Structure 1
Amino acid sequence: MKTISVVTPCYNEEENIEDCYRTIKTLFETKLPQYRREHVFCDNASTDRTVEILRAIAAADPDAKIILNARNVGPMRSNYNGVMAATGDAVVLFMPADLQDPPELIPEMTRHWEEGVEIVYGIRATRAEGLVMRTLRKFYYRLISNFSTIKVPPDVGDYQFVDRRIVEAMRHVEDSYPFMRIMTFEAGGRAVGMPYHWRARRRGMSKNSILQLLDQGLNGLVTFTAAPMRLALYFGFLIALVSIVYALLNFVLALVFYGRLAEPGILTLIVALFFFGGVQLFFLGLLGEYILAIYGQVRRKPLVIERERINFDAPRMDAEEATPSNLHGHTV
């Protein structure tokens, strides 16, 4: 019997984690009974009851495996560490605890995998979120898609169903800040996309702040595209061209209307100094992003320092035996 692993990163998800576990468990029992289930939860040093609930789940079901991080290392590193710990013949790279990405797609993803597809990627065709965030995400995904050195379809997230070969290929990529949604395409292989509606959270608030989203977005741009440097090059060329045209225009106007080449341009000079000073600071910050990426890579620190692993060596039980009467009443 083949195994399908599902990886769920979590941080302070006490309102969602048990529902996520039960949903995946029920789905495998009803839609995929021919496959073993391995559900890997990666807790990012939660401060609420998440760890307590996870311990109860693990005590009742050895197919639920838990990784407890020693500290919060961010969602991307924690998720990647869980994928590397998964042992399945195929792996669902990311199943959010709040189920915003629909788990009901997994049986169809499995069918594609059975037909020889190595990467079944979810496409977030529509989103249940505000206009501003939806527009910004659309722009970002198209920027990644158009400028990436790897062919990446637009609107692709981390919700992907991949073959074991892809996971092993990802393991050989030594990256201090892994960006999984593109790493899979870097591994190559037959791929199929599945559009779906990205749902709003039913309970709780997202733990991914705006600053974290910016950090993750910049990581993807710096790691897999030449977009920032290319845009800087094009922007610098455009500014230089406009400056030359403006200088020639001022020269002509000064001779025609003023008969001299002084005083009237002082205000323009001050504005230009501030403008170009801002542009230079922007480009220095852009270069700093690349330097930080290089610095993080050469330091070779571990992605995640784990505090504990649960059920990774535990024997499996049949589905009937792994049905707890009350998950909260168990401890490990």
Structure 2
Amino acid sequence: MKTISVVTPCYNEQDNVEEVYRQVRNVMAGIGRYRYEHIFIDNSSLDNTVPILKRLAASDPNVKVIINARNFGHIRSPIHALLQASGDAIVLIVADLQDPTSMIVTFVEEWEAGSYMVIGIKKTSEEHSLVFFLRKQYYRIAERLSNIETFQNFTGFGLYDRKVIEFVRSFGDPYPYFRGMIAEIGLPYKKIYYDQPKRKFGITKNNWYTLYDIGMLGIINHSRVPLRLATFVGFGGAALSLFVAVAYTIAKVIFWNTFSLGLAPTVIGVFFIASIQLVFMGVMGEYIGAIYTQVQKRPYAVELDRINFDIEPQVPTPVPQSVSIEYEAASMSSMESQAQPIEMEGT
């Protein structure tokens, strides 16, 4: 019997981890024809996430827990967990319940039909409309700059065959852009469109810096356009400067007594050129920083503890309602929000 691994990264998700565990187990029990393991990797949470995960692992041997020695960030920690999974297929799903667990059924069906990758694409989102609009614009820009086909509105939520995960391992990238890796691999895939619900418990752990970090990583890993743009702007600026210099020289010769250069154009020009230089120095710095990270070859994460990894996965049964009564109302509302029409597109 084959095994399906479900990987859930979490950080300060005490309000969500038990509910996502219960929903995933019930979905896998409904499928019924696979063993499964649910791997939670905790990025050194400061709340009660770890005690809750330890309690779940003690009551269910299919729950496996990795506790990081410190916070290794939102990019390295999930990859580490993916590479620890033993399943024939691996599902990546976040802990905040914004990835509908009911879609795992469709993911598995498409995998059984021959797709190596089944990826969830956000069709709509209940997050702030401005934020969703800005995300869509970023994905469009990233795709235009990239030298490969990328997936717009894709966060990593999906199912990946063991072969895909082994290709990810072979990249050996110490600071990987997982979404880009999936696009780079290029094996047959299926897109599943879904409506992303709003986070119901807790607050997002993303901030401006983490969003910028992953956004810039997505561009520099798959495009040389920013570097070449710096070169083109340099040539254009040089040509414009030469044209202005010749024009001013001619004007001064013709209107020797009345034409005055003035200080303002010089000051404005100097500051403009300096700002352009700083921008492109920053761009080049991003590429140099990426090279520096590659050279360091640091591990994705250092584990403080791991639980239940010596136990073979089993076919799950539904979670009894008595396991987490306090989450019953939340579970019902969450499952109702997931009952959205599904559209599929493949290649």
Query: What TM-score comes out, normalization by structure 1 length?
Result: 0.90
Report the equivalent of 2:88: 89
Q: Which moved more, 1:34-43 or 1:179-188?
A: 179-188
Distance 1:241 1:157 in 2: 42
- Decide which of 278, 282, 299 is 2:279's aligned counterpart: 282
- Check conservation: 2:174, 2:298, Cα contact below 8 A: yes
Change in 2 beyond 3 A, CA 1:133/1:251 = farther
Match of 1:27 in 2: 27
Give how far 1:271 is off.
0.5
Equivalent of 1:268, from 258, 265, 269?
A: 265
Determine the C-alpha separation between the residues in 1 that align with 2:8 and 2:190.
Answer: 22
**Once the two structures are superposed, what CA deviation does each residue of 1:210-251 show, in whole Å capped at 9, x if it has no partner?**
111111111221222223213323433443444444445545
Structure 1 portions without partners, runs of 5+: none
Residue 8 (structure 1) aligns with: 8
Conserved in 2, the CA contact under 8 Å of 1:56 and 1:327? no
How far apart in 2 are the matches of 1:132 and 1:320?
A: 42
Q: Distance in 1 between matches of 2:111 and 2:317?
A: 27
One-letter code aligned to 1:283 = F
Question: Which residues of 2 match residues 321-332 of structure 1 at below 5 A?
Answer: 325-326=322-323
Whole-Å separation in 2 of the counterparts to 1:251 and 1:308: 73
Which of 276-285 and 146-155 deviates more? Answer: 146-155
**SS of the counterpart of 1:154?**
coil
Q: Which residue is equivalent to 2:125?
A: 127
Q: Report the identity percentage.
A: 38
CA contact (8 A) 2:69 2:303 kept: yes
1:61–1:322 Cα contact (<8 Å) kept: no
Q: CA deviation at 1:129?
A: 2.2
Deviation string 1:12-44 (CA, Å, 9 cap, x unpaired) is: 0001111110111111112x1112221110100
| Alignment correspondent of 1:53 | 52
Pair 1:44-2:43 in alignment: yes
Q: Which runs of 5+ in 2 are unaligned?
A: 326-347
The number of equivalent residue pairs is 325
Counterpart in 1 of 2:345? none
* Counterpart residue number, 1:191: 189
The answer on whether the counterparts of 1:255 and 1:261 sit within 8 Å (CA) in structure 2 is no
Name the CA distance, whole Å, in 1 between partners of 2:203 and 2:321.
Answer: 28
**1:34 and 1:120 mapped to 2: Cα distance?**
19
| 8 Å contact from structure 1 (residues 124, 198) kept in 2 | yes
Q: Which residue of 2 aligns with 1:305?
A: 302
Looking at structure 2, the residues matched to 3 and 14 of structure 1 have their Cα atoms a distance apart, in angstroms, of: 27
Call closer, same or farther: CA 1:219–1:34 in 2, change over 3 Å: same
Alpha carbons 1:251, 1:261 under 8 Å: kept: no
Are residues 194 and 244 of structure 1, via their aligned partners in 2, closer, same or farther at CA, if it must alter by over 3 Å?
farther
- Name the stretch that deviates more: 243-252 or 288-297: 243-252
Offset, 1:118: 0.5
Deviation at 1:149, TM superposition (A): 2.7
Give 1:285 shift.
Answer: 1.5
Amino acid at match of 2:55: A
Match of 1:223 among 212, 218, 221: 221
